[in-house]
Structure 1
Amino acid sequence: MNSFRSRLTLIMIGIIGLSVLASGLLMAQMFKQNHIQALEESMVREIRILAAGMKWESADDNMTAQFQYYSQVASDMKRNADSRITFIRTDGVVLGDSDHDPHTMDNHKSRKEVAKALSGDIGSSIRMSDTTNQNMLYVAMQVQADQGPYIIRLAMSLEDVEQSIRNLWTALIVWLLVLFLVAALISYRVASGMTRPLEQITKVAKRIQRQEYIARVTVKKQDEIGELGYAINAMADSLQVQMERIRQNESQLESVLDNMINGIVMIDVTGHIVLLSRRAEDILGFTSRELVGRHYSDARQQHELTSLIREAFEKQSYIHEEMTFYYPEERLLELNLVPVMQDNEFVGILLVLQDVSAIRRLERMRSEFVANVSHELKTPVAAVKGFAETLLGGAVKDEETTRSFLQIIYDESERLNRLIGDILELSKIESRRVPLTFSPVEMQSFAAKTVQLLEAEAARKSIRLDLIAEGDIYVEADEDRLRQIMMNLLSNGINYTPEGGKVTVMVEPVWPASVSPYALSDETRDDYERIRIVIKDTGIGIPKKDLPRIFERFYRVDKARSRSSGGTGLGLSIVKHLVELHNGTIAVESEVGVGTKFTIEIPVIHP
């Protein structure tokens, strides 16, 4: 913008300078012409005066006498006229000259001013004199004498005129320089007044280009540039509002995409990926930086997905498919490929990815649950029905057989009752319809009472129950549900431990990782955040392949042994859900033939 201002200033100075220079040239030329014209008129008057008072010699006199006479007259007249005077005959012979000897002078008939005077007009010319070596103004006029016509020529040096012209040019140059300075100052101020607002408008436009939409032009004048400033400000206001709207829409769209449970992949008509949501990154195992801008075939995914996308591009129609992915982990995905149309023109494919692994797993678990419940209910119902039919068929007459059958019917009814009770209990726990009443529980006495409840059952199998618990260990828990957790685990330990075995219960505090148990003081001993309950037996153990599934409903490692022990297959599932309701964790370690250890950790205080 500074260069523009400089160019504008130079242009204005140039225009002014050229105008002044042209005016000066014209004025000097007119001055010279007027001055010369005035001189000519004055010289004509002088010639007429000289001719009126002139005494002409007879033409019969010899030439020498005429030369002397006219030369003398010319010299005398020069003192009054202050001009060079020349007397010339009509044949061009110079009779006398005030400055030179006529004998040495050329014939002047061909001279421009003389030739014109011979024709009857007043002749004038300007040329360099051969004798004086100066620019001279010559004026010649034909005069009539008694002896015939003569030519009187006056010559005057133009040195004074040229000096006047030089003085005029000196003054003109000085004034031109002064005018240049004044014009430069005025032009700079005018250019600044024009360019400074343009400069500001340009800066504001560049800031708007850099997305600084708060930039505004300060308008000081209500001229065309001011109108331009108002237009720029209005444009900036409109852009700011529109960009704010766009940012809000982008933010909302980004928030929606980032929080969607489904993955979104947008592929343009050329097959290049233009959008990849955060959930799609998790599902596909690639980041946006790795895939956006690249062709979909560059994604190192399984061939089936690439083929499905290619088919969607070929058909340009909706495609729904379920596919198992093995990278980055095994999962079942529901794929929906939707063609994107704009103004009835195909512009790309929208790929919606939904992880249905959990849904399908729940559906499978529900089917298995229904099948297991049906199977578990069918067994005792069939037993009750069978023995009842036997009794109705006549076996009731045998008292011993009747008592045996009725006992079986009773046991199966009890088993059926326990099964239904466990199913209802698990249903309430899973739906979180079991209100927990938290209160402080002193773990040493609590664990002792729980162990005491199962001592008789353990004694029947000669199983020893050991309790290891420190005093003054407290936890905030629902006492009834906590006892249900421990009794379920203890019962399992007793049931699956051979005679003469051992089941151990251990309760201990858990300190933060930054605290060393060996450096505890009386002040820090009560600063534990969690408690740990460990129930360990010396039973038959659980195979490693079954460990991940033991908390599933109706899952049994040894189905025959579980059924004979009266288990429903729901105990560990109930335990897991109750531990989670206490915001705790449960883990299991087991080795076949050595035993099993369940570890439960529960926070001391619940939010």
Structure 2
Amino acid sequence: MRYRTRLTVVFLLLIGISVLTAGLFSAQLLRNSYMSSLETNMDREIRVLLATSDWSRTGSEKDTEAYYTSMIRELRESAGSRVTYIRADGKVLGDSDHDIQGMGNHLDREEVKESGVGKTGYAVRHSETLNQNMMYAAEAVADSSGKVVGYIRLAMSLSDVEDSLRRFWLFLLAGLAALVLIAGVISYRIARSMTRPLEKITRVAQQITNLDYRSRVEIHSKDEIGQLGLAINTMAESLQTQLGRIVENESRLQSVMDSMQSGIIMIDREERIMLLNRKAEEFLGFTAEELLNHAYTAANQQYEFSQLIQTCLATGETLRDEMVFYFPEERIMEVSSTPVMDGQGGMAAALVVLHDMTAVRRLEKMRSEFVANVSHELKTPIAAVKGFAETLLNGALDDEEAAHAFVKIIYDESERLNRLIGDILALSKIESRRVPLDFSPIDLNEFLKASLRMVQTEADKKHIRLDLLPAAPLYLEADEDRLRQILLNLLSNSISYTPEGGEIHVRAEHVPGATDDQDDRVRISVTDTGIGIPKKDLPRIFERFYRVDKARSRSSGGTGLGLSIVKHLVELHRGTIRVESTVGVGSSFIIELPVIHQ
């Protein structure tokens, strides 16, 4: 039952009980008033009867009965009530309403017992003779000597009193019904006015429970209910502010975690994954939905990884190790497991951090290989210079022709050594991005023509035809010197690896952006009819000191760093380079550069 209904029922019960209680008291007071008034009247009438009639008649019983019966019936008209005369022994000598022959001894009647000379006795009971409630009043009759010779009794019906009380109760109940109806409407409106604010407050509280902290209570008064509504609104504002801060902090934390290059995994004491970021998903090969609230063994990693986490959870120590992950792809990972303490100083979870060391280790390997390659490349010309210098010192200077040849070799090797060191220094600067680029507009067709003229002499020595394919006017922003370095390097390589009588084709074309967000680009391709590059060597062609034909490269004076320099310079221009090649057919180096540098 709703509180509003219960409150209305309580109001009605209070009103009903109050009215009924007042009615009971009023009815009892009215009845007592009627009875008291009736007793007073009957007492007065008895005394009048005693004073105005002769009650000392004696004689035969039959004559006495006839006398008293006749007199009492005459007195009934004046008394207005039933009159009975009872002899001192209890025998009825006369009655105004009934034949005395059928009436028993009345000495045991209550009113008779309580009566006396000058004292009236009263009694109320149901009359079997008249079949109604009656009030009886009796007083003793004494002779001249004071001896009681009989009793005069008056009897009056209580039907008038009962009718009055019945009418009173009927009026009372009708009034009560009307009052309950009116009071019900008024009570309901009062209860509604009292409960509607509470219902609104309850509804707002439920909405707040459902995390709708924007809900507010409309306050129309400053009473206790208004104060409660104000408290609810204040609480909602506080919760909304705190939730906003929590969401903002959580969003910041999630953004930080998602932008981290390290994988983060939090594992609780029950060995379940509580938290992981996107990088951890990438490293483990599973999504957060597949791993959250599951055991960390669901990641299906090697035994060493699981053992490190289990040891951290068991001992509470910070552990660090480097291991190889083979799923979803092979990676060298540095795994760090750190205990996370709770407020009581106990261990709550283990925080596992995954660092991808693959690139670092690859760079270390490349650095090591670079040092070894540099050492190897430097060793050859230095050994040649040293050997021929020793030969000259040991007497070859006397042979003019041999000395000239040896000095020429020393000069060539020193030139090669100079080029190698120059390329190493240039590559170092380019890789460290310490090479400043001066971007300016370039007419690409004129630029390509000028570049081909610079290598024309070298190409003519091998009877190689240089061909610039016609193209529409093209312009782009680039560093002209570095772009020429790129193109000359590619043209020189093509000339070196193209047999005599071959061809080299250079083309430039416009490439529109595939989407609105993608800028237009310029594609430059250098295609030759040379010896080609084996398919297995294509992925490594741009590595430092990598040679497809090592003997031929050295004999041509190459340092093995040209294509690596080209690749880095193209990337500095925010472009891309790739190679397509077929052994025995030729190779094509394709460069794509943005039209406008950003």
Question: Aligned to 1:336, what secondary structure does the other structure show?
Answer: strand
> By how many angstroms is 1:303 displaced?
4.0
Determine whether 1:23 maps to 2:22.
yes
Q: Where does residue 217 of structure 1 map in the other structure? A: 217
Q: CA deviation at 1:118?
A: 6.8
Q: Which residue in the other structure is 2:509 paired with?
A: 508
How far, CA to CA, are the matches of 2:135 and 2:220 in structure 1? 63
Give the Å deviation of 1:403: 0.9
- Cross-structure match for 1:249: 249
The offset of 1:19, in angstroms, is 1.0
Partner of 1:187: 187
Moved more, 409-418 or 269-278: 269-278
**Can you list the C-alpha shifts for 1:483-506, whole angstroms capped at 9, x where unaligned?**
221221121122222334333323
**What does residue 306 of structure 2 align with?**
306
Aligned twin of 1:51: 50
1:518 aligned partner: none
Q: Which residue of 1 aligns with 2:98?
A: 100
Unaligned runs of 5+ in 1: 516-527
Task: Provide the C-alpha distance between the structure 1 equivalents of 2:48 and 2:112, rounded to a whole number of angstroms.
Answer: 19
Specify the alignment match of 1:393 in structure 2. Answer: 394
With over 3 angstroms needed to count, the CA separation of the structure-2 counterparts of 1:463 and 1:491, relative to structure 1, is same
Q: Is the 8 A contact 2:284 2:299 kept in 1?
A: no
- Specify the alignment match of 2:169 in structure 1: 169
| Aligned pair partner of 2:123 in 122, 125, 135 | 125
Matching residue within 583, 594, 600 for 2:591: 600
Indicate how the Cα distance of structure 1 residues 315 and 514 shifts in structure 2: closer, same or farther if over 3 A, else same.
closer
Q: Where do 1:262-273 residues align within 5 Å?
A: 262-273=262-273
Per the alignment, residue 12 of structure 2 pairs with: 13
Distance across 2 between alignment mates of 1:513 and 1:157 = 118
Partner of 1:466: 467
Q: How far is 1:172 from its partner?
A: 1.4
Alignment check: 8 A CA contact 2:56 2:149 kept: no
- Distance in 2, matches of 1:361 and 1:498, equals 36
What is the deviation of 1:33?
2.0
Structure 1 residue 408 corresponds to structure 2 residue 409: yes
Q: Please tell me whether the aligned partners of residues 380 and 412 of structure 1 are also in contact (alpha carbons under 8 angstroms).
A: yes
Alignment correspondent of 1:558 = 549
Report deviation, 1:68.
1.2
2:115 is paired with a residue of what secondary structure? helix
Identify if the C-alpha distance between structure 1 residues 488 and 562 changes in structure 2 by more than 3 Å, giving closer, same or farther.
same
1: distance between equivalents of 2:339 and 2:527?
Answer: 59
State the match for 1:521 in structure 2. Answer: none
Q: In 2, Cα distance between the equivalents of 1:245 and 1:512?
A: 43
Q: CA deviation at 1:368?
A: 1.5
Structure 1 residue aligned with 2:435: 434
Q: Are 2:26 and 1:35 equivalent residues in the alignment?
A: no
Q: Is the 8 A contact 1:536 1:596 kept in 2?
A: yes
Cα RMSD (Å): 2.4
Greater mean alpha carbon deviation, residues 91-100 or residues 193-202: 193-202
Take 1:12 and 1:90, find their aligned partners in 2: how far apart are those partners? 61
Q: 1:329 aligns to what SS in structure 2? A: coil
Separation in structure 1 between the aligned mates of residue 489 and residue 99 of structure 2, nearest angstrom: 160
User: Contact 2:117–2:141 at 8 Å: present in 1 too?
Assistant: no
Pair 400,337 (structure 1): closer, same or farther in 2 beyond 3 Å: same
Deviation at 1:579, TM superposition (A): 1.5
Identity %: 56
1:86 offset after TM fit, Å? 0.6
Write the distance in 1 (CA, Å) between the matches of 2:430 and 2:416.
21
1:90 is matched with 88
What amino acid is the match of 1:71? T
Correspondence 1:288-303 to 2 at 5 A: 288-303=288-303
Q: How far apart are the structure 2 equivalents of 1:46 and 1:268?
A: 106
Greater shift in the superposed pair: 111-120 or 381-390: 111-120
- Structure 1 residues 118, 90: closer, same or farther in 2, change over 3 A? farther
Q: Deviations over 1:293-338 (max 9, x none)?
A: 2222223444443333223222222111222223222222211111
Deviates more, 1:479-488 or 1:208-217: 208-217
Report the TM-score, using the length of structure 1 for normalisation.
0.92
Deviations 1:126-157 (A, max 9, x none): 22212221111111222213474311111000
Q: Comparing 29-38 with 451-460, which one deviates more in the overlay?
A: 451-460
C-alpha distance in structure 1 between counterparts of 2:526 and 2:456, whole Å: 15
Distance in structure 1 (CA, Å) of the matches to 2:240 and 2:546: 63
Report the TM-score, using the length of structure 2 for normalisation: 0.93
Deviation at 1:448, TM superposition (A): 2.9
Pair 1:507–1:224, CA change in 2 (3 A) = closer
**Following the alignment from structure 1 to structure 2, what is the Cα–Cα distance between the partners of residues 323 and 558?**
37
Q: Compute the displacement of 1:112 (Å).
A: 2.5
Query: Which residue is equivalent to 1:261?
Result: 261
Q: Is the 8 A contact 2:117 2:148 kept in 1?
A: no
Residue in 1 that maps onto 2:151: 151
**CA apart distance, 1:417:** 0.8
Name the CA shift for 1:143/1:301 in 2 (closer, same or farther; >3 Å): farther
SS at match of 2:590: strand
CA distance in 1, matches of 2:567, 2:285: 31
Aligned partner letter, 2:370:
F
**1:354 — aligned with what?**
355
1:69 and 2:73 equivalent? Answer: no
Unaligned segments of structure 2, at least 5 residues: none
Distance 2:447 2:253 in 1: 55
Q: Give the secondary-structure state (helix, strand or coil) at the position aligned to 1:469.
A: coil
1:113–1:124 Cα contact (<8 Å) kept: yes
Give the drift of 1:400. Answer: 1.4
Q: 1:513 to 1:253 in 2, by over 3 A?
A: closer
For the residue of structure 2 that corresponds to 1:454, the secondary structure is helix
Q: Count how many residue pairs are aligned between Structure 1 and Structure 2.
A: 593
The one-letter code of the counterpart of 2:582 is: E
Q: How far is 1:189 from its partner?
A: 4.0
